[in-house]
Amino acid sequence: MEKICVYGAGNWGSTAARIIAENTIRYDKFYNVVNMYVHKEIYNGRELTDIINTDKENTKYLPGFKFPDNVFATSDIQFALKDVTMLVVVIPHQFLVSAMKEVSQYADLSKLKVVSLIKGMYIGKEDIKTTTQTIESVLNLKPSVLSGANLANEIANREICESTLGCMDDTEAELWIKAFQTDYFRIMHVKNVYAIELCGALKNVVAVAVGMAAGLGYGNNTKAAIMRIGFMEILKFAQMLYPSTAESILFESCGIPDLITSCLGGRNFKVSAEFVKTGKSIDVLEAEMLNGQKLQGPLTSLEVHEYLSNVNKTADFPLFTAVFEIVYQNKDAKPLLESLFKVSRQSIL
């Protein structure tokens, strides 16, 4: 039998734990109890693990939605990983390496299967690692990825949506589908991992740009135009890194649908709109609007810019470059966003 642990207790991690806990009861392939590793945290004078286990609700990150009784939250990493064979990783990507080092200490890696729900990358000046490549480098196993147009609160509210599972092994894919799929959350399996992750990370940068446009008062026509430019830059970036990337992957939930969803109402969109409206820093807005959870889009724009600068390609990606300059160099958003429409079409394609 398979035992599942969800590593992370934010908005999306809590939603994933709720779904998985319902499915472990449904299928005899799984132990009923789902462990959820929660970073030690005090909220309203109580430990978050105590709130989740006693009140059956993550009142900080997913208020209003109850957990099934078979979700058990713990801040003891050794206990969380005991006998676990399937690990769902859903934390900000900047904490991934240290988290996986903990996993390597306490999990039985010979039996472990891992799926990443993280939308982010490690981008250095000379190389790029997706989250699964980072996990693989620490744990020496082949992780899968689940990504798509998946706003956590809508899924928690049982609104119909899809997600893309990138998994190279058909038998393992069947297990992940059983763990996640419901009548309202449909999983589409493809044998591609890295391109899915690039889509999931880069769409956050596009959502920042669209949010800025909204904050400046632009309407839907402008926002749609920025989405189109962003879509083309995502495709170009993916094919630059992985020349075999098929355009068809962008028509899965992890591609255009995720881009649209994030640009219509995701956290990167909302916070970026306030960023240009108020002039407050991203850090301040994260604290005010996200209960301290971290945005992925601004950091990804910084990492992407460093990489593109090193390979002399910034001019080929005007949207990615504009987001970096607005967030990190305090440049005026309005002229930079308007300049996107003065770039020749040839330089985008």
Residues flagged as binding site for substrate: 119, 267-268
Binding-site residues for NAD(+), please?
A: 8-13, 95, 152, 267, 294, 296
* Residues 92, 10: Cα–Cα separation, whole Å: 9
Which residues are documented as binding site?
A: 8-13, 95, 119, 152, 267-268, 294, 296
CA–CA distance, 78 with 176 (Å, rounded to integer):
23
Neighbouring C-beta atoms of residue 128, cutoff 10 Å: 17
User: Under 8 Å CB-to-CB from 3, ≥6 apart: which residues?
Assistant: 30, 31, 33, 35, 83, 84, 85, 86
Pairing type for strands 71-74 and 86-89 reads: unpaired
Tokens standing for residue 6: 């969800």
Task: Based on the residue annotation, tell me whether 203 is a catalytic residue of this protein.
Answer: yes
Q: Give the amino acid at 347.
A: S
Q: Tell me how far apart the terminal alpha carbons of the chain are, to the nearest angstrom.
A: 49
- The residue annotated as part of the active site, out of 60, 203, 223, 270, is 203
User: Which residues lie closer than 8 Å to 181 by C-beta, 6 or more apart?
Assistant: 23, 187
Cα angle vertex 283, ends 116, 267, to 5°?
Answer: 50
Written as one letter, the residue type at 174 is: E
Which residue matches tokens 């440049």? 331
Active site residues: 203
